[in-house]
A and B are shown apart, each in its own frame.
Chain A
Amino acid sequence: MQESPKYWKGIEELESSPEFIKNAFNEFDYLPVSESHGSSDATVAPRRDFLKLMGFGIAAATLASCETPVRKAIPYLNKPQEVDPGIANFYASSYFNGSEYNSVLVKTREGRPIKLEGNPNSPVTRGGLSARAQASVLSLYDQSRLQNFTIKGKAAERAQVDREIMTKLAGTTGRIAIVSPTIISPSTKRAIAAFAGRYANTEHVQYDANSQSGILRANGGVLPSFDFSKADIIVSLAADFLGTWISPVEYAAQYITNRKVSADKKTMSRHYQFEPYFSLTGSNADVRVPVKPSEMGAITVELYNAIVGGGTASPRVAKAANDLKAHRGRSLVVSGSNSAAEQTLVAAINAALGNVGASVNTATPSMLRQGDDARMLRLIDDMNRGTVGAVIFYHANPAYDHPQADKVKSGLAKVPLTISFNEKADETGSLCTYGCPDHHYLESWNDFEPRRGSLSLAQPAISPLFATRQAQDSLLTWAGSNQSYYNFLRENWRGVLGAGNFQAAWDKAVHDGVATGTASPAPTPQMAPAMSVDQAVAAIASAPKPSGTELVLYEKVAIGNGCDANNPWLQELPDPVSKATWGNYVAVPRKMAEANKWEQGDVLKVTANGKAIELPVLVQPGQPAGSVSIAIGYGREKAGKVGNKVGANAYPLATVRDNALVYMTGVTLEKTGATSPIAQTQTHHTIMDRKSVVQESTLAKYIENPKEVTEYDKIATPEGLEKPNKVSLWQDYEYKNHHWGMAIDLNSCIGCGSCVVGCQVENNVAVVGKQEVINRREMHWLRIDRYYSSDASKKDFATKGKLDTYAAMEDPSENPSVIFQPMLCQHCNHAPCETVCPVLATTHSSEGLNQMTYNRCVGTRYCANNCPYKVRRFNWFSYYSNEKFEDVNGHMFTDLGRMVLNPDVTVRARGVMEKCSFCVQRIQLGKLEAKKEKRRPMDGEVVTACAQSCPTQAIVFGDLRDPNSRVAQIWKREDGERAFKVIEAINAQPNITYLTKIRNVETKEVRNA
């Protein structure tokens, strides 16, 4: 057999010397580096392996980074019948946070609630919506909500929790207390009753953080409903009825119907406000009298004496009393005091004036405050005595918001069974053994009766996000019922909706969100007895008068009692009067600050009743001399990332007297030496007598001649003084189809800030946090400018000289009048911003809109500099990815939070300019809807978010090309009377017209704002 031939590569191979064999497989013999290490360490990679791996790694990394990132967009496999991607669905619902009620429409997109709008069918809130209600949609997606049931803070199975609780409840010997704020849901009350039926020793304790127990006590356990539209004279004794008191949206709508004026209706109510701090309501009053907190009682007595007692009125209440007496049956006196004595007198005054049955209605009382201070105080004592066997907190947080929070905490330790339905492990919830978190209201079925006879429903607008359970379901389960709360609710409504076709009636009620009828049980009288007028007068006289500086606690429009403190939209919504955001402060009168050499931002130690907090100073014009005011609702410890440690908790400074909470006390103030800047969105407070910016006049002048209340800018031309638009560099635009425009009635705007939040929600406006507000970089597209009046004016030029006068005009008066001016992009026809953009990123649309093209913007900010109205907002940072904003703007960082974003509006990138678009997405939708039906959009179909949310209809939006639209009518009607454009002389020709504010003051003299 022949061997196969063998070939050699060289003679060396043939010879196969040992040297050759050694090197045969070592290709790069001459290299100083050996191919493999002799190292015994297996982890050391040989050079070639390293290179191979590196090469592979680079290639793989390159390939991977070339790939488009995967964005999960899952189409519906089984599309729900009512959901069309890209088309919003609206569901009627109701918002009630324990103090404020709004009937709402929930806008959902692809099954996610993204915005709330007012429900125009509601007889209570009439389509208005408060800032807090607007913002509540964000609370749904709050990461700090409890995501499942807990036992001692640790996640637990719901069944196990139920088992343990039911066992313990069955074995409870002491009293069982359910602690909640006011509950206006009839069915919830029945669910509580069902629970009480099973556990006989149950007591339902309601208390309100900002208590109105006094008015309930004075009126036999009922809270009369008020109608401000039926009052020609309104006297408010520290009741902030437009901002925070009981039902501000409802009252604002009533209030304004009697305040709107036109050439055909030259009447309006006169509003007196006596108050110990500067409230939103006070800033709208025609006559505002600052009164020291301790003298509010005396004022009430004086007013009572002047009207009922028949004595001569003291000078400070004389005018109000005379006006009241001249308008018997057409007036209204309200008091925000929690003192039953003062409320007794107020009730007597209203009765004496014949207002009961007109502006005061006890037949269909309001249900919005049912808290009983005495009952809560007794419970706290009982808890400490150890006689309470179980306590269930239902959205109540007394460990934070009760003045006796310390006693609540010590008492809780002595209660064997503690359960919390609170949505979060908040100050109280975290002290409870069992956390049984309730659904968010947008995930719940519920009913409400804000006013007897007016019912409304809440329906879930989304499946529960977390493993929570509706509190009523929990109560029913523990009561041993197998019925779901939904069925329970329906059963209750059978009685309301009558005997006819229940399903049809129910469907209509769910659809409308509101129904008439009553389902609430009779009111429980307050524990403390009512008092007679004489007792009341005596009680006021004997009330202790603090010597020295006095403190009054108040509630802010945005943050309220603090339950929504974790909502960044509310934290960043400026206080209507002080324009401060992110925290509370000690509001001191200017003279006090000067006397003590306090500068704004100096931190003071505030000591009252043996408790001390530290807060910065804010110099507040209009704060009564010798007194200071501090807002409650701040200083949360366990609200969540946003709300924790913002400001300081002022609740402990409140006191208890006569079984009622008293929100005023004597204080000592000491400078600590520290400073803490206050984040204000406005730091210059006076108008500098610039009439062309904002205008006001008096009713007397208006009645005399409506054509003389507004001063129009004129420019000098060879033909004499002319309207500014007579001379122009630019050609006018021709609008062939639509011309969108707006009218803002300064007489109707109360400055509540609802539009600001509405705009923020609609347009995905970023929250920037305290430091960036201090840096003056808040992003609000719509702001409300607030101007205080000054004692100086241009009239002083001749006598005092220009320099001194200008300096003096910077200082507000001691008790200034206030004017609010919503300021947003004016959509100028000759827009200064449009000409200066080098890349045409901001242009004019064929419908009169000034459009911002984010994609094209390179961010020179020239447009913002050249905007006379300063409404343009620059994206200084990447607010959705820069870690600095993760706490405050967190909803743009997580998938959960991003569900709230409006998919129709871009989230703006870093480095681009943004501003009000007149809600162009809503305009587009309105046009398309009309087009589908082959018609033009009707007036009122296209509404911007701000106009939609305004409780007083101060903002009217529409098509100026449509002569019958409301906005066109107003422009036409008010032309030459109240309609003016801001700084008209520069001829930017805005598409927004403002209407001059009219004050119903006694004089004809216009005070300089």
Chain B
Amino acid sequence: MQHVSAVREPLVTGGKTYHDVTQDVCRQVEAKPNIRWMAALSVALFFLGIFLYSVYRTLWYGIGEWGLNKTVGWAWDITNFVWWVGIGHAGTLISAVLLLFRQKWRSSINRAAEAMTIFAVICAAMFPVLHMGRPWLAYWVFPFQNTFGSLWVNFNSPLLWDVFAISTYFTVSLVFWYTGLVPDFATIRDRAKGPIAKVAYSLLSFGWTGSAKHWSRYETVSLILAGVSTPLVLSVHTIVSMDFATSVVPGWHTTIFPPYFVAGAIFSGFAMVLTLMLITRVVFKLEDYITLEHIALMNKIMMITGSIVGVAYITEFFIAWYSQVEFEQYAFINRATGPYWWAYAAMMTCNVITPQLVWIRKVRYSIPLTFILSIIVNIGMWFERFVIIVTSLHRDYLPSSWVMFSPTIIDIGIYVGTLGLFFTLFLLFAKFFPVINMAEVKTILKYTVDNGPTYTGVDPHANHGHQTTTHGVPANAPVNYNKHD
């Protein structure tokens, strides 16, 4: 245990004891699904159904079901792909980078953020596969021994780099996430009453006993994985950006893309984490663990990355002017003033202007405003990818091929469908897995420093039936450190 200054605001409010943490987190795993969860899952499943239908149409009839054409070969598919990958970024950042920087406040949100990463990457991975003309041959992008003669993949192709980047990223994120889950699964296993739950959580917890050796290995693995995934935060979106940066399309062929994409990814990732956390903390009554301080901190990161992105937008224009390349110049003039000006305006407003409101303290501590802001940023980042992909492609070198792109119902179906897929996975996760890393949160309770409140054997929740704190301490009050039973 470590020393924490007495004047430092506690990271977990409400004077929680170890037992409270366990109780609070395990409650929704063990309780019967509540009506709000059921309702949310129904909606998510409905959208998942839309996804499945749209995918069926795509696979059965072909990519022609989408709105693409001879000039615009990618549109919503890759927009969604980059959007989802970007969203996935915050998870890794929170779990790995913040761990390395010993940012303790990450403990209450890292589990959900990592889960979000994994589900977002799953959603993202749908698109590179589905956008293929012949997705049943998707495995050809792997450099495996084959019977096709001397065929090998093309190591020059950024799409191949994508395959490696995304699969590595997914694997590492999954392992990292799962490693963190093991002690918590063990806790649930130990408390489980039903036979299925017992078996299931026994299997999931890999025989965790909580011995010192286990904890030591756990810590080591977490650190190693954090070290491994930190470069991934930079590499994944760098490589995704190279899909565009290494091409010859004006508007894509830009050296600023790697940092710009990474910043954009963290930006959109934090927005999505905020969206989800704000809902989760209310639905599962976790206000003491995901506090206003968390929200404010995440708002700040969002604002900073948003500003980086804004600078990148302006730099692109500067370079277009500075290069004196007519195609490049026209690509950017067309972006801002051409037929897709509205997408560009949406992007600028949502990504550059609105996040600046976070400078105002009231805004960054306001839950409703933060929620709205996070949604706006998610929309803005979607438009950013749309602007980059579609407005660059639709008017490139030869004016004879200039076209407009408009999505079909199937394009829309697949996009909202992946939202359904995402939320289905997230809701299942939130119901059956501990949404907060109990083991780690326990290490940051302030009383671990001094003598904090301890478990008395009396379950305050059973007595009072509503959210209270141990021994009458109000939820938002600082802990009374002198209190001792």
Contacts and interface: CB of A to CB of B under 8 A. Distances in A.
B157 A870 contact: no
Interface centre among A772, A858, A862, A911 (most CB of B within 10 A): A858
Q: Is the interface of B mostly helix, strand, loop or mixed?
A: loop
Interface string A661-672: 000000000000
B132 A859 contact: yes
Nearest to A987: B248
B140 interface: yes
Interface string A855-877: 01111111011101110111111
Given A786-B400, A858-B134, A777 B157 contact: no
Contact of B399 (A686, A777, A860, A913): A686
Contacts of B249: 865-866, 868
B156 interface: yes
A775 interface: yes
Contacts of A870: 70-71, 396-398, 400-401
B154 interface: yes
Interface string B391-429: 001011111111110000000000000000000000000
A839 B63 CA distance: 19
Nearest to B338: A806
A858 to B, nearest CB: 5
Contact of A911 (B133, B163, B243, B397): B133
Interface string B58-80: 00011110011111011000000
B353 interface: no
Interface centre among A684, A786, A837, A878 (most CB of B within 10 A): A684
B154 A839 contact: yes
Contacts of A806: 330, 333-334, 337
A685 B333 CA distance: 19
Contacts of A687: 399
B138 interface: yes
B43 interface: no
Interface in B234-269: 243, 246-249
A863 B116 CA distance: 32
B73 A838 contact: no
Contact of A835 (B63, B68, B140, B157): B157
Given A778-B70, A876-B68, A839 B399 contact: no
A910 B154 contact: no
Interface string A772-800: 10011110000101110000000000000
Contacts of B64: 772, 777, 876-877
Contacts of B131: 860-861
A832 B247 contact: yes
A717 to B, nearest CB: 15
Interface string B134-157: 110110110000001001111011
A869 B163 CA distance: 27
B134 A857 contact: yes
B159 A873 contact: no
A882 interface: yes
Interface in B51-97: 61-64, 67-71, 73-74
Interface in B257-300: none
B160 A838 contact: yes
Contacts of B329: 802
A684 B159 contact: no
B397 to A, nearest CB: 5
B400 A837 contact: no
B248 A868 contact: yes
B140 A911 contact: no
A924 interface: no
A515 to B, nearest CB: 44
Contact of B151 (A786, A835, A856): A856
B326 interface: yes
A891 B401 CA distance: 28
Contacts of B135: 858
B163 A776 contact: no
Interface string A273-289: 00000000000000000
Interface centre among B69, B132, B151, B400 (most CB of A within 10 A): B400
Nearest to A730: B156
A874 B70 contact: yes
B337 A803 contact: yes
Given A776-B403, A838-B153, A866-B248, A874 B63 contact: yes
B158 interface: yes
Contacts of A872: 70
A509 B133 CA distance: 51
A875 B62 contact: yes
A832 B70 contact: no
B72 to A, nearest CB: 8
Nearest to B154: A840
Contact of A866 (B71, B134, B154, B247): B247
Interface string B316-345: 000000000111011001100100000000
21 contacts: A688-B399, A775-B67, A823-B398, A832-B247, A832-B248, A835-B156, A838-B160, A840-B151, A840-B152, A856-B148, A856-B151, A859-B133, A866-B247, A868-B397, A869-B397, A870-B400, A911-B62, A911-B63, A985-B325, A986-B248, A986-B397
Given A684-B395, A840-B154, A982-B398, 7 more contacts: A776-B71, A783-B400, A806-B334, A859-B63, A868-B397, A870-B70, A910-B62
Interface of A: 682-688, 690, 693, 772, 775-778, 783, 785-787, 802-803, 806-807, 821, 823, 832, 835-840, 856-862, 864-866, 868-870, 872-878, 882, 909-913, 982-983, 985-986, 988
